[in-house]
Amino acid sequence: MTGIINEQQSTTPEFPPKLGTINFKQAVFLQSASALTNAPLDTGSEVAFAGRSNAGKSSAINTLTGNRKLARTSRTPGRTQLINFFALSEQQRLVDLPGYGYAKVPLKMKREWNKHMEAYLQRRQSLRGLVLLMDVRHPLTDQDEQMVRWAASATMPVHVLLTKADKLKRGPAKNTLLSVRARLLEFGDTTSVQLFSSLKGDGLKELETLLRAWLTDASVFDEAADSDD
């Protein structure tokens, strides 16, 4: 696999943003990376999106950014197994992690993937949290739980999006929400969960509020200001 793929034309929005003023519609493709070693500089803040393939990750990123081109970028052949970075500003990024759960992927590749994901979750200093997408009808697969375990062991906050919520009636959707919330608590108290539908836009505000809080973690910008003195 190749290293960095730079997008020549991308222009990154201004930094620093004011608290709560992040405009997700400004996201631009920054670069792809095959491993942590060729990821963008590890400064500022980023939030990563992960999930089993077909969980609705591209649709959710589309809905959030209002930009179909971004998710298409991630689907370009050869990039599906790469980590894709999108810039919201000079120091704030959204990160699209490779989907997992492909039945036909050889074991060797699965092991490689595990190695990269574990390293990314445990060593990436700028990572503020993980958004983990699960189809509301099939939540918490073994690999989903593995992701939660890795994040918990790195004291990384995890926010679960139960996607395609429009596929269930309100009652069953609520029951799933409650049972996933209870299960997640067994992994630690830095977990949260919500229902989400890209189709209807349900849950978008809740997701945006959480992402803004993670990405504008005041302590990070205080550190940046301190180092300017």
Interacting residues with ligand GDP (CB under 6 A) = 51, 53-59, 99, 163-164, 166-167, 197-199
Closer by beta carbon to ligand GDP, 122 or else 141: 141
In what order do the strands lie in the sheet containing 45-51? 5-6, 28-33, 83-89, 92-96, 45-51, 127-135, 158-163, 191-195
The residue among 159 and 164 lying less far from ligand GDP, judged by its C-beta, is 164
Q: Smallest distance from the beta carbon of 156 to ligand GDP, in angstroms?
A: 20
The least CB distance from residue 26 to ligand GDP, in Å, is 21
When the beta carbons of 40 and 51 are compared against ligand GDP, the nearer one is 51
**Among 222, 151, 160, CA closest to 194:** 160
CB 195 → ligand GDP: shortest distance, Å?
10
Q: How far is the CB of 97 from ligand GDP (least distance, A)?
A: 11
Which CB atom, from 38 or from 53, has the smaller least distance to ligand GDP? Answer: 53
Please state the closest distance from residue 96 (CB atom) to ligand GDP, in A.
Answer: 9
Between 53 and 81, name the residue whose CB sits nearer to ligand GDP: 53
DSSP 77-120: TT-TTSEEEEEEETTEEEEEPPPB--TTS-HHHHHHHHHHHHHH
How many CB atoms lie under 10 A from the CB of residue 217?
A: 14
Helices (H), the chain: 57-65, 68-75, 107-123, 142-153, 170-185, 204-215, 218-228
